[in-house]
Amino acid sequence: MPAPSTTILCIGGVDSSGGAGLHADDRVLTRVGASKHAVVTVVTTQTYYGAPQIYPQAPAQIEEQIRTLMDTYAISVVKIGMLYNVPTAKAVFETLDIYRHRDLKIIIDPILISTSEYSLRSDDLMEYLYTVFPTSTLITPNLTEARMLIRSGVEIDTTNIEGICREMSLNFRTSVYLKGGHLSDECTQLFDILTVYDVKNRSTYSIPLSHPRLDLPHVRGTGCTLASLLAFYITSNTIEQSAKMAHQHMQMLLEDTANHWDKHTAVISVHTS
């Protein structure tokens, strides 16, 4: 029987430099005191400066990791990061489907491309993601990933970001937290958009979450950190409440990172609680 504590399961890749992926998940969830476990889907060889080499794990191994943890612990939230290819993604989602009766909250951070614009997916992964997005509670693309997912070359800016977020929510039949950190450098005020999807009525409503642009160099692991914060807060709150709390917490971390910037690690600070 599962242990009685509430636990977050993080499924994703290992970044050999420690900047992103499961390392970032572990840093922030340890800081907030969350009970968590990890399943490794992909091992990467990378640094802040170079292109990643990607080594997907065997699907059977991924399935065994998930089954072992789900059968042992009272996991209520699953945060999914890098999948890279369809066999890996199928191993994850088909195994999680066995535990559908648990009413799991699933957050998908669709890792498709690195900030340095290196591809982190196989060519057919997006087609498969379209089929599993409706099984999720929330997806958390950034602006580049959003353009890829909607198959549009349109630049996302302050005039259309809310409409694009709503379009994704309706098309993918799930709630969407669209990260706006990559808006034009001319914007002094940035904002993320949360669009909440009502499954019963197939309707949506959106909430802008604004924050000032910080004078901060490129930092790795921000998307993973935000998605992990969402996973933490959603264990006991609504999607809207979780988004507001995670957004506020993320701004505190970014401000702390700006004050303690380390160019050698380029990793987001988690000193602020």
Residue 146's pLDDT is: 92
- Give residue-wise pLDDT tens across range 121-142: 999 999 999 999 999 999 999 9
Task: Check the CA dihedral 145-148-153-159 and report its sign.
Answer: negative
- Structure confidence at residue 55 (pLDDT): 95
Q: Would you state the pLDDT for residue 193?
A: 96
Q: Would the pTM of this model clear 0.85, i.e. be above it?
A: yes
CA separation for the pair 119, 196 (Å, rounded): 29
- CA-wise closest residue to 226 among 198, 192, 260, 195: 192
Give the span between the Cα atoms of 262 and 269, in whole angstroms.
Answer: 9
What's the pLDDT score for residue 273?
A: 43
Here the tokens at position 139 are 């997806």
C-alpha–C-alpha distance, residues 239 and 50, integer Å: 36
Dihedral of alpha carbons 90, 20, 15, 230, sign: negative
CA angle 204, 178, 35 (to 5 degrees): 100
Long-range contacts of 94-100 (CB under 8 A, 24+ apart): 94/63, 95/62, 95/63, 95/66, 95/67, 95/70, 96/66, 96/70, 97/135, 98/67, 98/70, 99/70
The predicted pLDDT at position 81 comes to 97
Q: What are the per-10-residue average pLDDT scores of the chain (273 residues)?
A: 67 88 93 95 82 91 98 96 97 97 95 81 94 98 92 81 94 95 63 94 93 69 93 96 95 79 55 48
